Structure 1
Amino acid sequence: MSVIDDLIAAGRTLVDAGLSPGSSGNVSVRDGDRLLMSGTGTRLGELTVHDIAVLDARGVARSAVRPSKEVSLHVAMYERTPEHTAVVHVHSPSTVALSCLQPWADHSAVPPLTPYALMRVGQVPLLDYVPPGDPAMGDLIRDCPHPFRAALLANHGAVVGGVDLAGAVDSAIELEEACRITLLTHGMPRRLIAPDQVRALTARWGTPWSEPASVS
């Protein structure tokens, strides 16, 4: 399969998993010195080769297909973590819902409830609200003091990076599940994974986790 075929397949996987309703969400992959990205207004489950925009590494369009308005978000993710070659941005129900609540802690909106979220994603900071497509989102990603593979965008959704496209998609699916469980247990006396076990899991799987400065 080509890189474009992989991008089309990733879009379908996200829709099949219920993470990209309607024409929401966008995906990109870095291929050498160029970015391939779903075009503006496209439905991720119905992507074709004619829906893929080509950009340079700075996000400047190099094809007739207009990229999603979230270009700055994707470019910032690649700049922040150069080893990542794929970015997924979704408006999935549970990530959007959790992004509308106060975060569990400064470093992560998602508490350590399941080992799978810690193994696949690690901590998930909540970034401040800016309107969709605002280039300021790129600055928020670059300036976030907490290491992350995935972040919630306040009142908006989630962005996830990965070393490859399959990994980014899998992490986005795991993040949606972690947010769903967080919402299901909201307001209840939770049993969190113990801090020493959190550290052991994230160290073993190489996922980011910081000691909380404050927990709500």
Structure 2
Amino acid sequence: MTESQLREAICDLGRSLFERGYTHGASGNLSVRLDDGSFLVTPTNVSLGILDPTCLAHLDATGRHLEGPLPTKEVALHAALYRTRRGSGAVVHLHSTHSVAVSMLPDLDPADALPPLTAYQLMKVGRTAILPYFRPGDPAMGDAVADLGGVYSAILLANHGPVVAGDTLLEAGYAIEELEQTAKLHLLLRHERPRLVPQTEVDFFNE
């Protein structure tokens, strides 16, 4: 896709996520990596529902602001995922309700926060790490993501929300929606004894 098409795609996905209730207010941010390693990212304090393709921030591979409006305060988060998951072409970060709720639960496994509930969770999301609480915009959050070594494409930020990296913006969008629905299922079932996906299937999708 051309840069112009990617700009339009960011706005289309942002509007879709906002209109379907996956994000609210001016929360959440999206980015797409360009062929030269730099990336486009949504601006700070702007609703994903009203993005303008001509008003996206352009940053270099390290997260340095090159042009456009001031970027989201979560630049370090995006830059860390691009740096450690080199095949990633897009990053989506939301404050979606069920994922945030799961991130507040006690005794989550930091290396595998959600049980294997569905095959599509395993296919689209994979294992989900959870990081401790950081103040939004804290560069240390980017360092914590980088310390995961690129093993995870999906991460929960405690008391904050999910972030997902994907090969394309569309794939990242699908994955974060699947993560949110998995989080919803987990909350519905966590006082039950749900039948999980068989371990043989978990191993198959993790290969």
Q: TM-score range by the shorter chain?
A: over 0.9
Deviates more, 1:132-141 or 1:16-25: 16-25
Does 2:30 align with 1:18?
A: no
Cα-to-partner distance string for 1:165-187 (whole Å, 9 max, x where unaligned): 00000101100000000110112
Deviates more, 1:189-198 or 1:99-108: 99-108
Tell me how far 1:106 sits from its aligned partner: 3.7
CA contact (8 A) 1:103 1:110 kept: no
Shift in alpha-carbon separation, 1:49–1:197, aligned structure 2, 3 A: closer
Tell me how far 1:144 sits from its aligned partner: 2.0
Tell me how far 1:108 sits from its aligned partner: 1.3
Question: The residue matched to 1:15 in structure 2 has which SS?
Answer: helix
Does 2:140 align with 1:136?
A: yes
| Aligned residue identity for 1:14 | L
In the alignment of these two chains, the number of paired residues is: 203
Does 2:114 align with 1:105?
A: no
For structure 1, the 5+ residue unaligned runs are 204-216
Partner Cα distance (2:117, 2:195) in 1 = 7
Partner Cα distance (2:138, 2:49) in 1 = 25
Partner Cα distance (1:63, 1:73) in 2 = 19
CA contact (8 A) 2:55 2:68 kept: no
Q: Which residue of 2 aligns with 1:9?
A: 12
Partner Cα distance (1:75, 1:17) in 2 = 27
Map 1:20-169; keep pairs closer than 5 Å. Answer: 20-33=23-36, 34-102=38-106, 104-144=108-148, 147-169=151-173
Question: The residue matched to 2:17 in structure 1 has which SS?
Answer: helix
Question: The residue matched to 1:137 in structure 2 has which SS?
Answer: helix
Deviates more, 1:85-94 or 1:17-26: 17-26
TM-score if structure 1 supplies the norm length?
A: 0.90
Question: The residue matched to 2:11 in structure 1 has which SS?
Answer: helix
Point out 4+ residue stretches in structure 1 off by more than 2 angstroms.
102-106
TM-score if structure 2 supplies the norm length?
A: 0.93
Shift in alpha-carbon separation, 1:26–1:67, aligned structure 2, 3 A: same
Partner Cα distance (1:146, 1:123) in 2 = 12
CA contact (8 A) 1:107 1:146 kept: no
Q: Which residue of 1 aligns with 2:176?
A: 172
Cα-to-partner distance string for 1:102-124 (whole Å, 9 max, x where unaligned): 35434211110111100101000
| Aligned residue identity for 1:172 | I
Percent of matched pairs sharing the same residue: 40
Tell me how far 1:16 sits from its aligned partner: 2.7
Partner Cα distance (2:121, 2:162) in 1 = 14
| Aligned residue identity for 1:194 | P
Partner Cα distance (1:58, 1:39) in 2 = 17
Query: What is the root-mean-square deviation in Å for CA atoms of aligned residues?
Result: 1.5
Does 2:187 align with 1:183?
A: yes
For structure 2, the 5+ residue unaligned runs are none
Partner Cα distance (2:28, 2:55) in 1 = 14
